[in-house]
Amino acid sequence: MRLRVIAIGTRMPSWARSACAEYLQRLRAGPTLELQEIEAASRRGGDARRAIAREGERLLAALTPRDYVIALDERGRELTTQELALWLKARQQQAEDLAFIVGGPDGLAPAVLARSNFRLALSRLTLPHALARVLLTEQLYRAHCILANHPYHRE
């Protein structure tokens, strides 16, 4: 099982880079987790629709036909950490490669949402993209710990 976080934006604050790197490092003994950054499209002239479409093309180009795609979407399904762990276990049993998609500041293109197999909401709150990356990588690490009976997760 291969896990990828494919995210729009290449200029993240140092605190976000550091936090993501920490959880990627901690997952060395677990499933492979990669962070792939996709350059954001220009928003000059205020044409968000065009930027979303360009970012959508870039995101779709990063996917393989085999990927099980999870779009991070505030309208998606909210899971507890325990539910996320069980959901990941089911995907693992199917030997699926997972691609978690984090959109740009204006959201995901309709084509990306159409390609997704599952929509996941980290929260109903609107989160900065840097924080969403950190939350996602931490929760993937925590879910791995639950499945490995590691004491990181406390109930």
What DSSP state is assigned to residue 18? H
| Number of independent structural domains in the chain | 1
Query: Is 33 inside any structural domain?
Result: yes
CATH of the domain at 23: 3.40.1280.10
Query: Is 19 inside any structural domain?
Result: yes
**Full residue range of the structural domain in which residue 62 is found:** 2-147
Closest CA to 152 of 40, 55, 56, 22: 22
81-108 pLDDT, tens digit each:
999 999 999 999 998 899 999 998 889 9
35-82 pLDDT, tens digit each:
999 999 988 887 889 999 999 999 999 999 999 999 999 999 999 999
Whole-model pTM: value is: 0.92
* CA distance linking residue 133 with residue 78, whole number of Å: 16
Please name the residues in contact with 139: beta carbons below 8 A apart, sequence gap of 6 or more.
Answer: 81, 84, 122
Query: Is 152 inside any structural domain?
Result: no
